[in-house]
């Protein structure tokens, strides 16, 4: 394997080790290089210092945990192998220009300071910035809790289950379906993520008798719009990349509000003979640079 291939393999391996004890000697042993030779090759290939990159990735994962879980600062510092909460706070403030406590409670989610995985950053696709008009929907909201590490699996499985149940009540298969999502730290289970997911459609496509449906009004606003086409089980990984790679690369600020999944088709039993792919516009509420006032509505949704 050439030098570039070795570094790429190492970058992939590092992503699974960020919450494990990890020294430069461990990384060098994995690469097959000496510690000094590896650091030089890593800098030549990526443009970054190896030790600084590992710390930046750990702090970026810690930032996600601050926004999406109720873990204490001490527990997050311990998980990502900082010597103390004080050491973690100093390092976090240096990278993100704000304390972990302020980062957690802010209504805005500023992605400045996030370090995307290098391999993912090289292939990211920027968003279209769009204005979504006001829209009235009707739907059903469900909630569940899970650990941050389980989020992708839980959301993928439950999304399919929720849509199957919802479409059984529709008069026909609506041409556009809306999945509204937001997440917040769980108030009951320390360290877990509470997810609220609404399956919805425009009222004209729903049955006349709909006592279990709630009225929803989406206010007009600015969104970063991304497009996913593929198997339903791949959507959640795509969403995690939006938060971990695309929003940081675009230096966007997420405002309060729902993340919106706008499906142009959803696989039904009639698709069994085909691929059953989905076409989804994924919209994340954002602030344009000129924005200076936000009315809080919902929390982050990754």
Could you tell me if residue 292 is inside a domain? no
In this structure, are 74 and 144 located in the same domain?
no
The pLDDT score that the predictor gives to residue 102 is 96
The pLDDT score that the predictor gives to residue 61 is 95
Is residue 273 scored above 50 in pLDDT?
A: no
The pLDDT tens digits of the residues spanning 30-54 come to: 988 899 999 999 999 999 999 999 9
In this structure, are 136 and 240 located in the same domain?
yes
In this structure, are 102 and 133 located in the same domain?
no
Could you tell me if residue 100 is inside a domain? yes
The pLDDT score that the predictor gives to residue 190 is 66
In this structure, are 82 and 160 located in the same domain?
no
In this structure, are 80 and 135 located in the same domain?
no
User: How confident is residue 171, by pLDDT bands cut at 50, 70 and 90?
Assistant: low
User: SS3 string of 244-284?
Assistant: HHHHHHHCCEECCCCEEEEEEECCCHHHCCCCCCEEEEEEE
Could you tell me if residue 299 is inside a domain? no
Final residue before a domain boundary, out of 72, 106, 140: 106
Final residue before a domain boundary, out of 74, 106, 138: 106
The pLDDT score that the predictor gives to residue 28 is 92
In this structure, are 238 and 100 located in the same domain?
no
The pLDDT score that the predictor gives to residue 188 is 66
Final residue before a domain boundary, out of 106, 140, 155: 106
Could you tell me if residue 244 is inside a domain? yes
Q: What is the CATH number of the domain that holds 188?
A: 3.20.80.10
User: How confident is residue 208, by pLDDT bands cut at 50, 70 and 90?
Assistant: low
Range of the domain at 141: 128-287
User: How confident is residue 91, by pLDDT bands cut at 50, 70 and 90?
Assistant: very high
User: How confident is residue 85, by pLDDT bands cut at 50, 70 and 90?
Assistant: very high
Is residue 269 scored above 50 in pLDDT?
A: no
Average pLDDT for residues 53-67, to the nearest whole number?
Answer: 95
In this structure, are 89 and 140 located in the same domain?
no
Average pLDDT for residues 213-230, to the nearest whole number?
Answer: 92
Could you tell me if residue 300 is inside a domain? no
In this structure, are 160 and 259 located in the same domain?
yes
Could you tell me if residue 54 is inside a domain? yes
In this structure, are 160 and 213 located in the same domain?
yes
Q: Give Cβ neighbours of residue 182 (< 8 Å, ≥ 6 apart).
A: 195, 196, 257, 258, 259, 298, 299, 300, 301
More confident residue, 270 or 68: 68
Could you tell me if residue 135 is inside a domain? yes
Q: Give Cβ neighbours of residue 190 (< 8 Å, ≥ 6 apart).
A: 70, 71, 72
Average pLDDT for residues 241-253, to the nearest whole number?
Answer: 92
Question: Which of 166-170, 202-206, 231-235 shows the lowest mean pLDDT across its residues?
Answer: 166-170
Is residue 292 scored above 50 in pLDDT?
A: no
In this structure, are 35 and 72 located in the same domain?
yes
In this structure, are 66 and 155 located in the same domain?
no
How many domains is the chain built from?
A: 2
In this structure, are 264 and 158 located in the same domain?
yes
Could you tell me if residue 115 is inside a domain? no
The pLDDT tens digits of the residues spanning 112-152 come to: 999 999 987 767 888 999 999 999 999 999 998 888 777 77
Q: What is the CATH number of the domain that holds 43?
A: 1.10.10.60
């Amino acid at each position: 394997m050439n030098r570039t291939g070795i570094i790429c393999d190492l970058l992939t391996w590092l992503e699974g080790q960020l919450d494990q004890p990890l020294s430069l000697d461990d990384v060098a042993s994995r690469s097959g290089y000496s510690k000094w030779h590896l650091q030089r090759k890593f800098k030549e290939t990526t443009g970054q210092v190896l030790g600084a990159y590992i710390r930046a990735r750990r702090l970026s994962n810690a930032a996600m945990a601050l926004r999406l879980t109720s873990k204490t600062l001490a527990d997050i510092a311990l998980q990502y192998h900082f010597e103390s909460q004080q050491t973690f706070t100093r390092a976090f403030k240096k990278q993100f220009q704000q304390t972990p406590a302020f980062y957690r409670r802010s209504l805005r989610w500023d992605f400045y300071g996030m370090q995307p995985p290098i391999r993912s950053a090289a292939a990211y696709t920027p968003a279209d910035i769009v204005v979504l008009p006001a829209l009235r929907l009707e739907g059903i909201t469900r909630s569940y809790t899970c650990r941050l590490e389980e989020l992708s699996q839980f959301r993928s499985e439950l999304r399919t289950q929720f849509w199957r149940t919802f479409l059984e009540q529709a008069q026909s298969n609506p041409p556009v379906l809306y999945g509204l999502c937001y997440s917040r730290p769980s108030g009951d289970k320390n360290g877990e993520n509470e997810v609220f997911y609404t399956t919805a459609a425009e009222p004209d496509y729903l049955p006349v008798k709909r006592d279990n449906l709630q009225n929803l009004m989406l206010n007009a606003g600015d969104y970063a719009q991304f497009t996913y086409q593929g198997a339903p089980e791949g959507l959640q990984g795509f969403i995690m990349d939006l938060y971990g790679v695309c929003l940081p690369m675009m230096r966007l600020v997420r405002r309060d509000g729902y993340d919106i999944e706008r499906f142009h088709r959803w696989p039904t039993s009639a698709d069994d003979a085909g691929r059953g792919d989905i076409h989804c516009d994924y919209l994340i509420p954002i602030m344009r640079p000129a924005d200076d006032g936000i009315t809080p509505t919902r929390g982050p949704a990754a």
